[in-house]
């Protein structure tokens, strides 16, 4: 079975940080984009393994979308 899970990835001066808003506490870090994507996939899979079917259904009910917008700054 597969499912879609929303993930937020942030970049800072130390590398990358990713978390899954649908799964409280599911987060990881990495040095580059490939590593962080691999790490968060693994973290999500491990997190989901610990949940019952009912818990999975309750947590994975929504799709969160993010985007980047360019705005004018005065």
25-51 pLDDT, tens digit per residue, is 999 999 999 999 999 999 999 999 999
Does the structure show a pLDDT above 80 at 64?
Answer: no
Where does the pLDDT of residue 73 fall: very low under 50, low under 70, confident under 90, or very high at 90 and above? very high
Boundaries of every domain in the chain = 8-59
What class, spelled out in words, does domain 8-59 have in CATH? alpha beta
Task: Write 35-43 long-range contacts (CB < 8 A, 24+).
Answer: 36/9, 37/9, 40/7, 40/9, 43/18
Predicted TM-score (pTM) above 0.85: no
């Amino acid at each position: 079975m597969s499912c879609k899970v929303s993930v937020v990835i942030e970049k800072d001066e130390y590398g990358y940080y990713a978390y899954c808003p649908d799964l409280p506490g599911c987060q990881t870090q990495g040095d580059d984009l490939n590593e962080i994507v691999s790490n968060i996939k693994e973290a999500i899979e491990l997190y989901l393994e610990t949940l019952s079917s009912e818990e999975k259904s309750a947590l994975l009910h929504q799709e969160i979308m993010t985007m980047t917008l360019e705005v004018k700054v005065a």
